[in-house]
């Protein structure tokens, strides 16, 4: 199949095109798995669990595309990543309950960090997420795709449907704004 | 250089994914220090995703002022033999992403063993280490000629591993590569042995979850040995899907319930054993596809060619055993590996006069018989009551 833009595939999948659905699954699954592995706490690091979480998210999301506005690959991956993060939290909470740690609050205070949280500290990672949320849509998608999904410049241009130079500018602006917001919050 | 152009240069360094010592850079440029620190932080996030996403747990993700260290990868060359007390390393049998298997001599007994040692530097939590040791010790207690024997569990100065029986033979995968497919009798014998091994595994409370030709060895004398009980799988974050989503192996033997994210139980292994038997007999996987998505759809729809179509010389009752093991609904498969073992042994006994016939299964009373017995008892009770009334009237 020739490379077809994710937006087009999303629209086709929404109209019930099974091939488009399969192609989206094939194309985005490895990206989302990579993302999930960065977010799964070390204690839950079992590849089957992570794969299951991601595959389940993809299958269910692709089954319920009606309400989704197909704005682009970045937006769709962000949407999927949120579901994955919620699902990981949900499973971790259930694990916490199984260990009879008691309330969710107690669990939250004891929960183990994910690899990305270990890399920068949970609090700083949270601030990065907050800063990311304040960006304009295209900048947010660019920073998210590059930093969290590992998109190269070329892949970013493809995903943002812009030429490489324009995509790079959007990423630059997004990074500058993240830095500015995080600078403001620095002690 | 102006502050803006310096700042642009830092962003450019970041987007080009160069290895940069951000801490030193921040120290060198106090005016842009905060900006550089944020970029350093984003670089660490990016590196953490990359390290975990590549299945590369040895790669450092800590910002210690130095660039990320290149990770030791399996294809970097032969690993340095570990020094494990009581064993003399003789050579390498094989290596995967997370463990290396050595041929070694047990210095006490002089016996040659396979020494599976987890690679150093794996970032294992105490929970995972404890699980590895717990499962390895439990499996070491299993005794069955068709299960690889674990002699010793190694937990020494941060080194984790197992010493196991060294099997001289080839995997079923290699057997199939040479033979293409197997004769019904040979396949049924292998199936019966594996089902017997699985029964022991299940009774000990384990589910194998990865029954496939690569995990079964045939010794030179013909003994079939089930390998790899998932104790390494529990710590191995390598994926089963390549970066492009192309299938590399196991999904074709995964049961529908695994694709539906339901709990795996002993019938999940029964399904995978059915897939293995199908492959031995047909010389190809029952379910094939280019992507996991495609395979998943076919597994869920049980969309595969009937064995008898591909291999008309397979007796119908043997094909029926395979078909039953591979049924879509777990409750319609053999209830246990033992039931499947008995079915295969029964077939071998009937068709080839091999072994003893398995003991007949205790059949529950059919409903019709229960109803009939109930009716007879009711009639008898009525007659008895009538006779008593008559006797009392007399």
Nearest chain B CA: its distance from A170 CA (Å): 12
pLDDT at B360: 65
Give the pLDDT confidence of B356-377 residue by residue, as tens digits.
777 666 555 566 677 788 888 8
**Tokens matching residue A140:** 């947010």
Q: What share of chain A is helix, strand, coil (3-state, %, to 5)?
A: 75, 0, 25
Q: Which of B34, B63, B294 sits opposite A186 (nearest CB)?
A: B34
| A87 close to A32: Cβ distance less than 8 angstroms | no
Unique residue bearing structure tokens 């064993």: B87
- Whether B290 sits among the annotated catalytic residues: the reply is no
pLDDT at A64: 79
**Residue B36 is inside which H or E element, if any?**
helix B33-53
Helix, strand or coil for residue A2? Answer: coil
Which among A35, A90, A91, A116 is the top mutation candidate for probing chain B, defined by the most B β-carbons within 10 Å of its own β-carbon? A116
Q: Which of B52, B209, B234 sits opposite A115 (nearest CB)?
A: B52
Helix, strand or coil for residue B209? Answer: coil
Please provide residue A80's backbone torsions phi and psi, each rounded to the nearest 5 degrees. -65, -40
B359, with CB counted inside 10 A (0-12, 13-18, 19+), is exposed
**Contact B53/A38, CB-based, under 8 Å?**
yes
pLDDT tier at A171 (50, 70, 90 boundaries)? very high
Instruction: Please give the ipTM for the structure prediction.
Output: 0.85
Q: Give the max Cα distance, chain B.
A: 129
pLDDT at A143: 94
pLDDT at A75: 87
Helix, strand or coil for residue B50? Answer: helix
pLDDT at B364: 54
Percent of chain A scoring above 90 in pLDDT: 18
pLDDT at A124: 87
C-alpha torsion angle, residues A53, A55, A56, A61 (rounded to 10): 120
The upper half-sphere exposure of residue B258, i.e. CA atoms within 13 Å in the direction of its Cβ, equals: 26
pLDDT at B198: 94
pLDDT at A111 over 60: no
| B254 close to B241: Cβ distance less than 8 angstroms | no
The parts of chain B modelled with pLDDT lower than 50 are 54-80, 232-249
Q: Which of A84-93, A96-105, B119-128, B295-304 has the highest mean pLDDT?
A: B295-304
| A107 close to A97: Cβ distance less than 8 angstroms | yes
Number of neighbours of residue A182 by Cβ within 10 angstroms: 20
Size of interface A-B (CB pairs under 8 A): 137
Note the pTM of the prediction, 2 decimals: 0.51
| B280 close to B190: Cβ distance less than 8 angstroms | yes
Strand partners, B103: B91, B114
What is the distance between the alpha carbons of residues B296 and A26, in angstroms, rounded to a whole number? 12
pLDDT at A109: 33
Nearest chain A CA: its distance from B59 CA (Å): 11
Taking phi over 0 as left and psi of -120 to 50 as alpha, with beta for the rest, B205 belongs to left
**Residue B281 is inside which H or E element, if any?**
helix B266-282
What is the distance between the alpha carbons of residues A24 and A58, in angstroms, rounded to a whole number? 9
């Amino acid at each position: 199949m020739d490379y077809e833009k994710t937006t087009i595939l999303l629209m086709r999948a929404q109209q019930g095109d099974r091939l488009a659905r399969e192609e989206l699954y094939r194309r985005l699954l490895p990206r989302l798995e990579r993302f999930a592995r960065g977010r799964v706490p070390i204690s839950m690091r079992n590849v089957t669990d992570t794969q299951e979480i991601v595959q389940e998210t993809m299958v269910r999301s692709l089954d319920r595309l009606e309400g989704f506005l197909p704005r682009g690959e970045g937006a769709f991956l962000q949407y999927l990543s949120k579901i994955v993060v919620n699902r990981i939290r949900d499973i971790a909470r259930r694990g916490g309950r199984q260990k009879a740690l008691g309330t969710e609050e107690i669990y939250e205070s004891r929960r183990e960090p994910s690899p990305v949280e270990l890399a920068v500290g949970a609090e700083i990672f949270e601030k990065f997420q907050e800063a990311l949320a304040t960006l304009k849509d295209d900048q947010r998608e660019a920073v998210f795709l590059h930093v969290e999904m590992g998109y190269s410049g070329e892949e970013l241009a493809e995903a943002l449907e812009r030429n490489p130079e324009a995509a790079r500018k959007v990423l630059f602006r997004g990074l500058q704004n993240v830095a500015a917001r995080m600078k403001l919050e620095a002690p | 250089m102006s502050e803006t152009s310096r700042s642009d240069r830092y962003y450019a360094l970041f987007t080009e994914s160069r290895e940069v010592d951000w801490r030193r850079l921040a120290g060198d440029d106090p005016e842009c220090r905060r900006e550089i620190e944020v970029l350093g932080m984003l670089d660490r996030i990016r590196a953490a995703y990359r390290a975990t996403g590549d299945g590369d747990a040895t790669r450092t993700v800590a910002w210690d002022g130095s660039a990320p260290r290149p990770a030791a990868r399996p294809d970097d060359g032969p690993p340095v033999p570990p020094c494990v007390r009581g064993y003399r390393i003789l050579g390498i049998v094989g290596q995967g992403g997370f463990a290396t298997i050595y041929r070694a001599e047990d210095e006490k007994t002089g016996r040659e063993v396979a020494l599976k040692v987890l690679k150093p530097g794996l970032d294992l939590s105490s929970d995972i280490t404890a699980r590895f040791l717990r499962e390895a010790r439990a499996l070491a207690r299993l005794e069955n000629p068709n299960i690889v024997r674990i002699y010793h569990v190694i937990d020494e100065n941060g080194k984790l591993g197992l010493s196991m029986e060294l099997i001289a033979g080839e995997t079923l995968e290699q057997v199939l590569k040479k033979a293409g497919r197997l004769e019904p009798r040979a396949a049924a014998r292998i199936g019966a042995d594996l089902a017997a091994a699985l029964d022991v595994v299940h009774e000990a409370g384990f589910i194998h979850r990865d029954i496939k030709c690569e995990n079964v060895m045939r010794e030179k004398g013909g003994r079939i040995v089930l390998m790899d009980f998932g104790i390494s799988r529990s710590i191995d974050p390598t994926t089963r899907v390549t970066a492009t989503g192309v299938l590399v192996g196991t999904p074709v033997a995964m049961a529908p319930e695994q694709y539906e994210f339901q709990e795996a139980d002993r019938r999940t292994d029964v399904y995978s054993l059915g897939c293995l038997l199908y492959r031995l007999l047909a010389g190809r996987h029952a379910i094939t596809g280019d992507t996991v998505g495609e395979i998943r759809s076919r597994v869920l729809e049980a969309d595969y060619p009937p064995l008898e179509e591909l291999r008309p010389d397979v007796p119908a009752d043997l094909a029926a055993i395979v078909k039953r093991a591979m049924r879509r609904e777990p409750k319609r498969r053999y209830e246990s590996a033992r039931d499947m073992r008995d079915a295969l042994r029964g077939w071998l006994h009937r068709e080839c006069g091999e072994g003893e016939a398995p003991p007949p299964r205790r059949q529950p009373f059919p409903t019709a018989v229960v109803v009939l017995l109930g009716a007879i008892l009711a009639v008898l009770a009525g007659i008895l009551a009538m006779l008593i009334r008559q006797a009392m009237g007399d």
